[in-house]
């Protein structure tokens, strides 16, 4: 799948305010500074459709991008950001959970994990929470261009060993890099496959 048209569709403070046009949605979330905005820009083939920042916590609402006028890519706030008040953290957590659990048009979340560092308990806990809430998700390993191939393989193996302590099998997973576009075709093909099933089902109703 190629993306020829991508446009910012708005930022929303809660799930009930999000677009109600019934288009399928794919949400991207991960720890702050995991490279979420860079990955979104790479997937869309744009330099700055999602604004990148060296300062964690820039994404503070549910940011929607309309792709090919057919589906949405949703940029969620990062989790694990410490430099905010406890009250603000609770508000973000509630906003993210309400979106992930209540959003009927959400087809899959993509949990972004930095492939350069050891397994982080906050990532494992977040994925376990998605499982408990029955939210479908896939993993997107980011920054895969930075480590050497053997180191990358070892890092991912360590992360997946931790995941398999809680899961019977691994979710779909993609190795990506915003710098060299690694994983772009595979991830977009995965979305295209789900979209096809979604639209076929809609037509059968």
204 assigned to some structural domain: no
CATH number at residue 66: 3.40.50.300
Tally of structural domains, the chain = 1
Q: Helix/strand/coil (H, E, C) string of 147-199?
A: CCHHHHHHHHHHHHHHHCCCCCCCCCEEECECCCCECHHHHHHHHHHHHHHHH
159 assigned to some structural domain: yes
Does residue 125 surpass a pLDDT of 60? Answer: yes
User: Comparing 33 with 158, which gets the higher pLDDT?
Assistant: 158
Cα separation, 101 vs 109, in Å, equals 11
Does residue 27 surpass a pLDDT of 90? Answer: yes
Cα–Cα distance list, 198 to 67, 71, 158, 179 (Å): 15, 11, 34, 31
Q: Say whether pTM exceeds 0.85.
A: yes
60 assigned to some structural domain: yes
Residue 37, classed as helix, strand or coil, is helix
Domain that holds residue 62: 6-199
- Total residue count of the chain as it appears in this document: 205
Angle at the Cα of 106 from the Cα atoms of 67 and 130, rounded to 5 degrees:
130
Q: So what's the pLDDT on residue 56?
A: 45
Q: Which residues contact 90 (CB under 8 A, 6 or more apart)?
A: none
């Amino acid at each position: 799948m190629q993306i020829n048209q991508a446009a910012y569709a708005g930022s929303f403070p809660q799930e009930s305010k999000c677009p109600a046009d019934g288009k399928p949605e794919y949400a991207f979330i991960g720890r702050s500074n995991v490279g979420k905005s860079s990955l979104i820009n790479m997937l869309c083939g744009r330099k700055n459709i999602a604004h990148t920042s060296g300062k964690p916590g820039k994404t503070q609402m549910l940011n929607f991008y309309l792709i090919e006028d057919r589906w949405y890519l949703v940029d969620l706030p990062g989790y694990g950001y410490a430099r905010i008040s406890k009250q603000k953290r609770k508000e973000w957590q509630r906003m993210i959970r309400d979106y992930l659990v209540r959003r009927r048009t959400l087809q899959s979340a993509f949990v972004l994990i930095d492939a350069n560092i050891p397994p982080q308990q906050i990532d494992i806990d977040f994925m376990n929470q998605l499982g408990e809430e029955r939210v479908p998700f896939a993993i997107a390993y980011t920054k895969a261009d930075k480590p050497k191939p053997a180191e990358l393989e070892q890092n991912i193996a360590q992360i997946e060993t931790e995941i398999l302590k809680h899961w019977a099998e691994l979710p779909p997973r993609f190795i990506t890099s915003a710098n060299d576009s690694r994983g772009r075709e595979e991830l977009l093909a995965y979305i295209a496959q789900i979209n096809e099933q979604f639209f076929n089902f809609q037509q059968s109703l």
